[in-house]
Amino acid sequence: MGKGTDKLYITHSEWSNKFSEGGINFGGKKEGSSRGKKILPFKCCYLTQIPFKSPVCTEEGHIFEYESILQFLKQYKINPVSGAKLKSKDLMKITVYRNENDELMCPISEKPFNESTRIVLNRKSGHVYSYSTIEELNIKARNMRDLVTDEEFKKTDLIDLYDPKDLDGRIINNFYYVKNNIRFNTSQKPINEEDVSNVNPNSSVKRILDLVKEETKEEKKQKLDLYLEKPETKENKSVNQKSNSKAHNASLYTTGHVAASLTSTTFAPVTVNENILLSNLEYMLPKIKSNSFVKLKTNFGDLEFELYCSFTPQTCYNFITLAKNGIYDNLRFANSIKNLILISEDPEEKIKSFYSNSDKEKDVSDYRNNKKVWSEELVGKESMDRLNSERAKKQSHDKRGLLSMIIDPKTNYSHQFFITFRPATQFDKKHIIFGRLVGNLSTLDKIEAVPAVDFIPTENIFIEKVIVLSDPFQEFSERLERKLEYLKDNKNGSGKNKGTDIHNTKLSANSTANTTNWFGQRI
């Protein structure tokens, strides 16, 4: 049981070495000196000790927040970790990739970094990778070219940013500015004596108060004005008492004003829970159950597509909206990769000209004619989240004639699309399949037969016009509008037909009762 012996017990020295530094260690590996000490996480700045957003790096592999280290260098002109001289020109800007959950990841393997990942920086390109990826694809393969920029580099150009087997350099107590008790405040805002007159002014309290933003009396008054309700009148009473009648777009969640008024002294008492109202798009998209059909009239013939509105509603909504506003009309197919895909031109410039044209809003006859609402519905934050969830759905580019929306990794959205000539599974979960070719397959054969030089067709291939044959989004909006009008008339004018003939009333009721519903006449 003892190390190197057949003793049935562990000696005092062997036992103490398991929990203290120095001496021998049973189990073979010697305990590191970083055991039991505070280690800086791999995603944090060495100076602020919080997760970085705009990182820069030194030759030693120390990562700093750009603005914080610049302010520190203006005062001290040294590396806050090692104490060596450091200039702003010695800092290297680095590119760290993040996934959908805002976790740091390797851009090649797309695996998120964790406390067990060895992380390295390529000095030549400024990109950050996991060492296992570099070792497998560069060192072992003897291909010393950057995996993103294709720049040539040497093994000496790799800088270790985080090594889980060597954490001595990340022990916070060993940092130069911590050892020498250098207090550095990034805000550099003085605190008024009136604000801390009743507080014990020790160093820890001062650091906390430096981070607190002073609220003026006007800001406090504005906050109170936002939450204080008007004096209760008969009209307000009637509104508050109608808690049972909810709006058609009310969500399952409440605003939380009742709980806030119970625990806060700045809130006026609120006794009725109000549901959060969904936007028109949020309410509509989950309820779309039918698909759409569109026709792309090209100079080689027509292409008819079925759009998966029930499976990818946000993508289809964006495409139909742009098509109805003429964005895809006279759009050229920029690239043709034989036996792979046909890529359209990016309509971003046409969209910008649409926004700049002030008279365009008057010419749009579709129900989506408000430019502000239109932009929020297509590229707003909530729309981006829905696009990301649609991209993550289980679907595959496994056959010919699929219509797929290109997603730019920088902006997480795009209005550019491509059509598959053959199965292209390498694009799975990178772009969104939102339709398939259902008619005029011969037109796609003609387009594929056009020769291309450097993937650019030798003949012009363009879309003359996009015709939307069926729009389930507009149909739903019109049905909803009829339903709301019916409910409003039934609520406000229930007694206006009292003077009608009884015989005619019964006849009309019997003839329409079984053929109509909330959304109109049954088919």
User: Residues of the chain with pLDDT > 90: what percent?
Assistant: 37
Q: Which of 26-40, 121-135, 342-356, 371-385 holds the top average pLDDT?
A: 121-135
Give the residue with greater pLDDT, 23 vs 172. Answer: 172
Say what the pLDDT of residue 515 is: 55
Q: Which of 114-128, 230-244, 370-384, 416-430 has the lowest mean pLDDT?
A: 230-244
Q: Tell me what pLDDT residue 234 has.
A: 40
Q: Is the pLDDT of residue 126 over 70?
A: yes
pLDDT of residue 4: 60
Residue whose C-alpha is closest to residue 161's, from 99, 102, 118, 108: 118
Q: Provide the whole-model pTM.
A: 0.47
Of the listed ranges 6-10, 250-254, 364-368, the least confidently predicted one is 364-368
Length of the chain as a residue count: 523
- pLDDT of 38 strictly over 80: yes
Residue showing tokens 């702003």: 88
Lowest mean pLDDT among 33-37, 168-172, 305-309, 465-469: 33-37
- What are the pLDDT digits (tens) for 148-195? 898 999 999 999 999 999 898 999 999 999 998 887 765 434 334 344
Q: What stretch of H or E contains 42?
A: none
Domain 55-179 has CATH 1.10.1040.10: no
Band of residue 422 on the pLDDT scale cut at 50, 70, 90:
very high
- Candidates 448, 194, 129, 172; CA nearest to 300 is 448
Give residue-wise pLDDT tens across range 230-266: 444 444 443 344 445 678 888 888 888 888 888 888 8
Looking up tokens 């087997």 gives 165
Q: Which CATH number fits domain 288-470: 2.130.10.10, 2.40.100.10, 3.90.1150.10, 1.10.530.10?
A: 2.40.100.10
Q: How confident is the model at residue 412 (pLDDT cuts 50, 70, 90)?
A: confident
CA angle 459, 425, 293 (to 5 degrees): 65
Mean pLDDT of 320-328: 89
Q: What is the mean pLDDT of residues 44-51?
A: 92
pLDDT for 113 beyond 90: yes
pLDDT at residue 503, as a whole number: 41
C-alpha span between 295 and 146 (Å, rounded):
44
Query: Confidence band (pLDDT; 50, 70, 90) for 215?
Result: low
CA distance 6 to 2: 6
Query: What is the tens place of the pLDDT at every residue in 101-111?
Result: 889 999 999 99
Q: What is the pLDDT of residue 192?
A: 41
Categorize the per-residue pLDDT at 208 as very low, low, confident or very high, splitting at 50, 70 and 90.
low
Q: Where in the chain is the domain with CATH 2.40.100.10?
A: 288-470
Which residues are CB-neighbours of 515 under 8 A, at least 6 positions away? 521, 522
**DSSP string spanning 119-143?**
EEEETTT-BEEEHHHHIIIIITTT-
In percent, how much of the chain has pLDDT > 70? 72
Q: How far apart are CA 34 and CA 168, in angstroms?
A: 6
pLDDT tops 70 at residue 58:
yes
Range ranked top by mean pLDDT from 2-16, 259-273, 429-443: 429-443
Closest CA to 320 of 301, 341, 306: 306
pLDDT in tens, 446-495: 999 999 998 999 999 999 999 999 999 999 989 988 988 888 888 776 54
Banded pLDDT at 46 (limits 50, 70, 90): very high
Lowest mean pLDDT among 19-23, 211-215, 332-336: 19-23
- Which part of the chain is CATH 3.30.40.10? 55-179
Which phi and psi (to 5°) does residue 466 adopt? -110, 120
Predicted pLDDT at 351: 81
pLDDT for 297:
93
Q: How confident is the model at residue 325 (pLDDT cuts 50, 70, 90)?
A: confident
The string of DSSP codes covering 242-253 is --S---TTEEEE
Q: Which residue has the higher pLDDT, 16 or 497?
A: 16
pLDDT band with cut points at 50, 70 and 90 for residue 408: confident
Q: Check: CB of residue 106 under 8 Å from CB of residue 114.
A: no
Supply the pLDDT for residue 157: 93
Three-state DSSP state, 394: coil
Q: So what's the pLDDT on residue 522?
A: 54
